[in-house]
Structure 1
Amino acid sequence: MTTAMGAALRRIQLGNALSAFGNGFTIPYLFVYVSQVRNLGASTAGVVLATLAVAALLVLPLTGRVIDRRGPLPVAIAGTVSAAVGSLGLGFADSKVLVVAAAAALGAGFAVIQPALATMIVWCSTPTTRSRAFAMQFFLNNLGLGIGGLLGGQLVDPSNASSFVRLFAIESAMFLVLGVAVATVRLPKAPRLGDVVPAGEGAKGGWRSLLGDRAMVQLCVLGFVMFFACYGQFESGLAAFAVEVTRISPATLGIALAANTAAIVLTQFAVLRLVDGRRRSRVVALVGLIWTVAWIAAGVSGLVPGAHGVATALLISTYALFGIGESMLAPTVAPLVADLAPARLVGQYNSAFALVKQLAMAVGPAVGGLMAGGGMYGAYIVLLIVCALGITALALRLGRRLTPEQDNPRLLARRSEPVAGSAAAPAPVACSASH
């Protein structure tokens, strides 16, 4: 990896961390802000949250094609501008129409930023450095969200709408900082030669190639189950189970969420060293087993109402175990998407996987909320245990379809090491940071 590539990656990662910091100021308070501070009601707040997801689902199928044709840089900049306008719009919106329109701009902008940044990271890394690059992105995202959430809680005043305007203004500014950061990165003019998109090949051709890639399709199925069983439950079924069945207070639930972030921040680089050089499919399979233990701990926490301290500890452990699993996925899944993609379709593959995540994040809370609302907590825990075991089974099955180099990029590095007396390998195309 060249010095220029490292400098460019650091600039991308810094901008990404600052945007996550800005997100942390507003994400925990969006529902309360719309429903109570702006007095638009809980139904409108629900529509706003749904609009964020729907906007993402509408733009992501087209995002990959634009990234692969025009490059990730203009897409990332357009996304940051849209997200900044939407965020600032939410701060000043005082009607249903305005708040929904602002949410649409924010959701669409934020959605296209993610695959664009992922593609930039791919272009500015090598197969052997890619895992660390994505792990760093995940670490900084969680650190930024955590710090932003803590500071936002100190600045916000539910009785004063202007305090929320300040929070949304900070988030908007951080999106613009991200835009400036990525705009100063010079990307290589890839793809080259044989990687060029054939004339006449459009979105259908890209999707046809992706759907014909059995390994990528299996990875998308695996990704859906992972996001459904983890991220899709934090603010719906699991939170309801914690409060209604385990009987913990909302304040203790906040501690559990903090334990999740702390587990990620404290273990990310230790986990990176442990998984480095190991088969990615086996690492993901282990995550499924860890999350199985997490869901069992959650279920047991609801069976010991007489031992409240034990129940609380089990519930907090559930969130912490999720965090450890997430830290193991960061250096494995996103780099695997990149390594499966042909060079001319990196944007398409990243956007497709982001679309799968959005679908799971939409379906997960809906299923969890419905089961919690119906009091089906026993069936809910059983469902998620089955999903966690399914992650292990799907990961092992995927491993049989991957090439040895895709499953363990260290093999590629060892095979590419020059033999004594042979000519040096050509240097990779580098991206650089402009000054």
Structure 2
Amino acid sequence: MTTAMSAALRRIQFGNALAAFGNGFTAPFLFIYASHVRDLGDGTAGAVLAVFAVVALVVLPFTGRVIDRRGPMPVAFAGSALGTVGALGFGISESAPSVLASSALMGAGVAILQPALATMVVSCSTAVTRSHAFATQFFLNNLGLGVGGLLGGLMVDEHRPGTFTLLFVIEAAMFVVLAAVLATVRLPQLREAGRDLTQAAADEREAPAEGWSVLLRDRSMVLLCVLGFVLFFACYGQFESGLSAYAVEVTRISTSTLGIALAVNTGVIVLAQYVVLRLVERRRRSRVVALVGVIWAVAWVAAGASGLVHGTQAIATALLITTYALFGVGETMLSPTVAPLVADLAPGRLVGQYNSAFALVKQLALAAGPAFGGLLAAMGAYGVYIVMLVGCSFGVSLLALCLGRRLTAAQDRPYRSVVVAGGSGAPRRPAEAVTLETAPMDRANGAAV
């Protein structure tokens, strides 16, 4: 990876971390803000969160095609602009229609930023460095969200609406800063088999449906999307619904202790990310993901056991906190494996399409997970809930092993494949063995420089 690519990647990740920091200020408080601070009721507050999720499902199917045609930078600028307007709208909204409109704008902005930033990370990394790049992005995201949430919690006062307005202004400012940082970045231009992506983009414009048809014929990518859905459904989709309800209703922990458990999850990610990265980046990605399924199965068993321990609240609490810690360990193993694998499966001219498709799968899981978990919690079917999620976790392992049989050696274990490609004599530098060449590109005029 060249010095210019490294510099561009650092700026992208710095801007992304600041945006996550701004999001951390407001994300935990959206429900309280709409329901209690603006006195719009729980129904409107729930609709705010639903709109935030649904709008992502609307915009993501089209985002990838725009990224592949125009590049990720214009899409990121659009996402930052939508996020800025949405955040400022939240800060001054006093009625249900304005709150819902602000939620739609900010949700659309955050949604299209995800694949745009992921595509930028791909363009500034190689097959060897991509795992480290995505692990760093995940680490900075969680650090930003955690610090932002902590500071936001210290600043807000439910009886002073102005304190919430200040949080939304800070978030809007972080979107502006993200755009300003990205404006200083010169993205490398991916080249595929000696054919640069300017021509590929032209081909794509001539065949507008080709992107989705190529993706849907790619059985490895389809299987990865199924795997991704189960991953997000079984973990992230439960944090704010079924698992929280189980912790309070069955394990009988207080809401403050639940906050500690969530903090432990974030702490494990921040402290363990680079240790875990060193352990997994040279191993088969499919087997790493399969191990995540086993770890999460143990986590759900621990959660189930916490509800069966009677008379020893300290043990029950420790088991539940262990659940959140094990989820954190699994998350640190996924960040250097799944996102880079999406990029490595994608044809060079469809990286945006593949990233957007996977982001869409994530949003579907994040919508289905809380709905399913909340339904079982409302029915009191907690035994069924735990058994189902243990089964989902083992399903992750099975799907990962099936996917591993479809991947090439370079896709499943890129570091080893690149080093071996250098020959048994003088080791070849990893950057020289990557099949995707790079050249600095000025996005203002699309010319390589």
Question: What is the TM-score when the length of structure 1 is the normalising length?
Answer: 0.97
Moved more, 319-328 or 416-425: 416-425
Instruction: Please state how far the C-alpha of 1:413 moved relative to its aligned partner.
Output: 1.8
Q: Which residue of 2 aligns with 1:110?
A: 110
Q: Which residue of 2 aligns with 1:408?
A: 413
Instruction: Please state how far the C-alpha of 1:423 moved relative to its aligned partner.
Output: 10
* 2:260 corresponds to 1:251: no
1:232-252 Cα deviation digits (max 9, x unpaired):
000000000000000000000
User: 2-side partners of 1:202 and 1:176: how far apart?
Assistant: 35
Structure 2, unpaired ranges of 5+: 444-449
User: 2-side partners of 1:330 and 1:405: how far apart?
Assistant: 18
- Over 3 Å counting, the alpha-carbon distance change for 1:203 and 1:351 in structure 2 is farther
Q: Which among 344, 353, 373 is matched to residue 348 of structure 1?
A: 353
SS in 1 for 2:406: coil
Q: Which residue of 2 aligns with 1:75?
A: 75
Q: Which residue of 2 aligns with 1:18?
A: 18
Instruction: Please state how far the C-alpha of 1:181 moved relative to its aligned partner.
Output: 1.1
1:82-129 Cα deviation digits (max 9, x unpaired):
011101110111111100000000000000000000000000000000
SS in 1 for 2:188: coil
Q: Is the 8 A contact 2:189 2:441 kept in 1?
A: no
Mapping of residues 21-420 of structure 1, within 5 Å: 21-191=21-191, 193=195, 196-197=200-201, 198=203, 201-417=206-422
Q: Is the 8 A contact 1:40 1:96 kept in 2?
A: yes
Instruction: Please state how far the C-alpha of 1:188 moved relative to its aligned partner.
Output: 2.6
Q: Is the 8 A contact 2:309 2:316 kept in 1?
A: yes
- Over 3 Å counting, the alpha-carbon distance change for 1:181 and 1:292 in structure 2 is same
Instruction: Please state how far the C-alpha of 1:180 moved relative to its aligned partner.
Output: 1.1
SS in 2 for 1:185: coil
Amino acid at match of 1:156: V
Instruction: Please state how far the C-alpha of 1:71 moved relative to its aligned partner.
Output: 0.2
Amino acid at match of 1:5: M
SS in 2 for 1:278: coil
User: 2-side partners of 1:243 and 1:422: how far apart?
Assistant: 56
Instruction: Please state how far the C-alpha of 1:182 moved relative to its aligned partner.
Output: 1.2
1:41-63 Cα deviation digits (max 9, x unpaired):
00000110000011100000000
Amino acid at match of 1:372: A
User: 2-side partners of 1:289 and 1:17: how far apart?
Assistant: 30
SS in 1 for 2:51: helix
Q: Is the 8 A contact 2:52 2:107 kept in 1?
A: yes
User: 1-side partners of 2:228 and 2:427: how far apart?
Assistant: 42
1:344-372 Cα deviation digits (max 9, x unpaired):
00000000000000000000000000100
- The number of residues matched between the two structures is 434
Instruction: Please state how far the C-alpha of 1:416 moved relative to its aligned partner.
Output: 3.8
* 2:434 corresponds to 1:429: no
User: 1-side partners of 2:257 and 2:402: how far apart?
Assistant: 39
User: 1-side partners of 2:15 and 2:387: how far apart?
Assistant: 40
User: 1-side partners of 2:88 and 2:39: how far apart?
Assistant: 18
Q: Is the 8 A contact 1:8 1:433 kept in 2?
A: no
- Over 3 Å counting, the alpha-carbon distance change for 1:247 and 1:403 in structure 2 is same
- Over 3 Å counting, the alpha-carbon distance change for 1:27 and 1:423 in structure 2 is closer
User: 2-side partners of 1:421 and 1:304: how far apart?
Assistant: 60
1:290-343 Cα deviation digits (max 9, x unpaired):
000000000000001211000000000000000000000000000000000000
SS in 2 for 1:111: helix
Instruction: Please state how far the C-alpha of 1:176 moved relative to its aligned partner.
Output: 1.0
CA RMSD of aligned residues (A): 1.8
Q: Which residue of 2 aligns with 1:4?
A: 4
Once the two structures are aligned, what percentage of the paired residues are identical? 64
Amino acid at match of 1:152: G
Question: What is the TM-score when the length of structure 2 is the normalising length?
Answer: 0.94
User: 1-side partners of 2:392 and 2:206: how far apart?
Assistant: 37
SS in 2 for 1:184: coil
Amino acid at match of 1:366: A
Amino acid at match of 1:76: A
Instruction: Please state how far the C-alpha of 1:276 moved relative to its aligned partner.
Output: 1.7
